[in-house]
Amino acid sequence: MPELPEVETVRRTLKNFVLQKQIEDIYVHYDKIVEGDTAQFIETLKGQVIHDIDRMGKYLIFKLDNDAFISHLRMEGKYSIETPEVPLQKHQHLTFQFHDGSQLRYHDTRKFGRLKLVNIETYATELPLSKLGPEPKDAILEEVYPKIHKSSLAIKTLLLNQSILAGIGNIYANEICFTMGINPYTPGKKLSKKRVKELLVVATKILDNAIKQGGTTIHSFDANGITGLFQVQLQVHMQKICPTCEQEIIKEMINGRGTYYCKKCQRRKT
């Protein structure tokens, strides 16, 4: 499940392969992978050159001559660089054919990911990107603290809310709670301003560290067709034994999401 660090790794890797390439054609093999009018998506982008790839939270933003499109990988989306001779794989739903003969293909087993045409000038202020909060590293305490403090929802749930902080998914939400020694059920309003400040520091550090390591490999994370290159050291997510106290890691559902924590090391309720 790509989160901010994994998407950032994809962005950096992809830039090495597709920048300055001109789109000759686009083949959509599963219509719903494109949000909105598929024919318009194809006709608009055809002939344009990819000049840059940006990222906001977990969204990739491909910038071309006159237009842009966003791509969200959701759970299992991945890109690969191929040539036309390679047979289309079962779950490859979209192909960008470049003028130089190479292809960029989008693969998504569960078909949850989406690509969407956006206005290159105004996309940041239009849905869905406009509702994203800041990434932890850019967050201003005075803006984030009130959003957490007014809520009685579990801090684990609030960490997953992209309008409060962008880029954190289930894996890193669990890791952040562990590092803070906080019980994931703790209501947001129980956290002091000082504690939220600490949360921003911890979240930034964990995400930065994961980016440095090239993203987390849980399933089969592909940046360019290569799998299993990176494996971040996870402290608590999907773990059985606490690395600190060696007690059993508990798994429970919070708001429908698998939540891993150590009852001994995460006793704080503030």
Examine residue 269 and tell whether it contacts DNA (CB under 7 A): no
What secondary structure does DSSP assign to 173-190, as a single string?
A: HHHHHHHHTB-TT-BGGG
Question: What's the angle, vertex CA 60, arms to CA 20 and CA 139, rounded to 5?
Answer: 125
List the x/- string, 94-133, binding to DNA by CB under 7 A.
---------------xxxx---------------x--x--
CB atoms within 10 A of CB 152: 8
58 is catalytic: yes
Greatest extent of the chain over all pairs of C-alpha atoms, in Å: 58
How far is Cα 220 from Cα 84, in angstroms, rounded to an integer? Answer: 23
CB of 35 to DNA, least distance (A): 8
Residue from 46, 257, 264, 268 touching DNA (CB under 7 A): that is 257
Please answer whether residues 71 and 60 qualify as being in contact, where contact means their C-beta atoms are separated by less than 8 angstroms.
yes
Segment near DNA (CB under 7 A), from 20-28, 45-53, 169-177, 190-198? 169-177
- The least CB distance from residue 56 to DNA, in Å, is 10
Residues in Cβ contact with 12 at an 8 Å cutoff, skipping those fewer than 6 apart:
none
2 has catalytic annotation: yes
Say how far apart CA 7 and CA 215 lie, in whole Å: 8
Alpha-helical (H) ranges within 27-91 are 38-45
Q: Which of 205, 257, 264, 268 is catalytic?
A: 257
> Applying CB under 7 A, which of residues 1, 49, 120, 211 lies at the interface with DNA?
1
> Is position 169 an interface residue for DNA (rule: CB under 7 A)?
yes
What string marks each residue from 17 to 36 as x (binds DNA by CB under 7 A) or -?
---------------x----
Residue number with CB closer to DNA (101 or 256): 256
CA angle 97, 100, 103 (to 5 degrees): 30
Residues that bind DNA (CB under 7 A): 1, 3, 32, 57-58, 72, 74-75, 90-91, 109-112, 128, 131, 151-153, 160, 162, 169-171, 251, 253, 255-258
